[in-house]
């Protein structure tokens, strides 16, 4: 069965914002779990990543990021920032939907196509939502239905004996798995296969 990558990006954004909404009245200047960024800066990173993926898939450079950059408004409250994340994801999903089947663009971790950039967006949305939620005490892994397609596309060597959400956290250096310490360094395989 083919993956509906456009829907997956939108679903990942909905999952991330739903997960983080209960914490909007908390202190977002605290560090996100395992990161040097604050919870608020982590949301800005998500938006920046999604905008970069959109720009790359639209302009299709072969050797660089585009000059387009965007972020959340300074001083915006957490609820408005979550709306910004969902908006950036919708724009990214539209770029994935509208990209021709043969479209390819540079990324430092491998030249990718629409599904590749969509998978990157899903990882950004789900893993960084985990980072922020964990800072507030919610350490549940990403949803398996979101993690599994991203793992198949970007992490071909992911452990198959773990639930997809747990495996995604392991692949991105966030959690140990039984008998497997978390990787000290990681990267996804963005190249089209």
Encoded tokens for 42: 């982590």
Q: What is the mean pLDDT of each run of 10 residues along the chain (193 residues)?
A: 92 98 97 97 97 97 94 96 98 97 95 97 98 98 98 96 98 96 94 88
Q: What angle do CA 112, 40, 22 make, to 5 degrees?
A: 105
HSE value, Cβ hemisphere, 13 Å, CA-based, for 189: 10
Q: Which residue has the tokens 């608020």?
A: 40
d(CA 129, CA 127): 5
Which domains occur in the chain, in start order? 5-25+32-171 (1.20.120)
pTM above 0.95, yes or no: yes
């Amino acid at each position: 069965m083919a993956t509906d990558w456009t829907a997956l990006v939108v679903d990942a954004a909905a999952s991330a914002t739903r997960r983080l909404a209960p914490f909007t009245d908390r202190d977002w200047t605290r560090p996100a779990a395992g990161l040097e960024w604050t919870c608020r800066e982590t949301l800005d990173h998500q938006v920046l990543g999604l905008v970069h993926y959109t720009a790359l898939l639209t302009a299709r450079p072969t050797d660089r990021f585009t000059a387009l950059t965007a972020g959340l408004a300074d001083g915006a409250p957490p609820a408005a920032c979550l709306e910004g994340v969902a908006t950036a994801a919708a724009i990214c999903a539209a770029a994935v939907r509208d990209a021709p089947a043969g479209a390819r663009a540079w990324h430092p971790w491998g030249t990718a196509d629409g599904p590749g950039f969509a998978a990157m967006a899903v990882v950004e949305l789900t893993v960084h939502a985990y980072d922020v939620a964990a800072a507030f005490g919610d350490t549940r892994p990403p949803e398996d239905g979101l993690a599994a397609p991203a793992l198949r596309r970007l992490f071909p060597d992911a452990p198959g004996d773990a639930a997809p959400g747990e495996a995604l956290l392991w692949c991105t250096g966030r959690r140990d798995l039984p008998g497997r310490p978390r990787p000290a360094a990681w990267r996804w395989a963005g190249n089209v296969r």
